[in-house]
Amino acid sequence: MNTKLFGILLVVAVCAIQNARAADAPTSASTGVRGVVKVEGPVPKSAHVSMAADPSCAKLHPGGVVTDDVIADAGGGLENVIVFVSQGLPGRTFDPPPQAAVIEQKGCMYVPHVVAIQANQKLEVVNSDNTMHNIHPMPANNREWNKAQPPGSPLEETFAREEVAIPVRCNVHPWMHSYIAVFKHPYFSVTGKGGSFELKNLPPGTYTLEAWHEKLGTSTQTVTIGANETKSIDFVFKAGH
């Protein structure tokens, strides 16, 4: 074999090894839980929300607006469920992520309806409406605050202790409510469209997972995650009784 050909083969071989490592890396680092939260049985119908008390809110919804307490798709996929690790984590502390979570007052509703954050993570409160709001979380285990917020002028707050979940009201608009959940660790997820959730990078171990819904209650399951394993877990809530 001449030297030039050997050199080319060597380069090809090294590239092949590097490609194989690159392809392996994400899967070997990926452990966690993913799944879907569903509701079975008759889901309570969304009720009409009257915003007549503030015409500037009402005019944002010419077609009307309905409550967002229980939102499920045709297959039962349930939104706004918080799925989190409730037991099994070692006693270590977790720093809050550097990025802020956001809750927006938009159309005189809270978007998203359920927010989950880490303890001491910044929560940015945004008023995108052309009216005054007054955001008032009512915690059992954290410092209570209550802030008027004119249009624009975002404000920032934090919660120091774990709490699932803190009810939030607007003191100006009685129909406005939401929930803020606070965790001392990063292993939580709020279900979106279709009811799906994912807890990423959960180290191998045995955990209790809890699913929380503001109207349908809680449900728990135990899961054991092995090395290099992502488990599929579904939760089912029963509605209508």
Span of 68-76, 88-96, 161-169, 176-184 interacting with Cu ion by CB under 5 A:
176-184
Nearer to Cu ion, 86 or 149 (CB): 149
Q: Pick from 37, 176, 202, 211: which binds Cu ion (CB under 5 A)?
A: 176
**133 vs 213, beta carbon nearer Cu ion:** 133
Closest separation between CB of residue 215 and Cu ion, Å?
Answer: 21
Indicate the residue among 58 and 233 with the shorter CB distance to Cu ion: 58
Q: How far is the CB of 174 from Cu ion (least distance, A)?
A: 9
Q: How far is the CB of 114 from Cu ion (least distance, A)?
A: 17
Q: Tell me the C-alpha distance between 78 and 196, whole Å.
A: 8
Nearer CB in complex with Cu ion: 35/112: 112
Q: Applying CB under 5 A, does 37 fall inside the site for Cu ion?
A: no
Judged by CB under 5 A, the residue of 72, 125, 172, 182 near Cu ion is 172
Among 113, 136, 169, 173, binds Cu ion (CB under 5 A): 173
Nearer to Cu ion, 134 or 218 (CB): 134
Least gap, CB of 48 to Cu ion (angstroms): 18
Tokens describing residue 83: 């799925």
Strand-pairing partners, residue 125, are: 103, 155
3-state SS of the chain is: CCHHHHHHHHHHHHHHHHHHHHHHHHHHHCCEEEEEEEEECCCCCCCECCCCCCHHHHCCCCCCCECCCCCECCCCEECCCEEEEEECCCCCCCCCCCCCEEEEEECCEEECCEEEEECCCCEEEEECCCCCEEEEECCCCCCCCCEEECCEEEEEECCCCCEEEEEEEECCCCCCEEEEEEECCCCEEECCHHHEEEEECCCCEEEEEEEEECCCEEEEEEEEECCCCEEECCEEEECCC
CA distances from 154 to 45, 97, 144, 148, 165 (A): 34, 20, 18, 11, 23
Q: Which residues, 151 to 170, sit near Cu ion by CB under 5 A? A: 170
**Which of residues 171 and 196 has its CB atom nearest to Cu ion in the complex?**
171
Interface with Cu ion in residues 87-146 (CB under 5 A): 133
Q: Whose Cβ is closer to Cu ion: residue 96's or residue 107's?
A: 107
Q: How many residues bind Cu ion (CB under 5 A)?
A: 5
Min separation Cβ 57 and Cu ion, Å = 8
Q: Of all residues in this chain, which one has the CB nearest to Cu ion in the complex?
A: 170
Residues that bind Cu ion (CB under 5 A): 133, 170, 172-173, 176
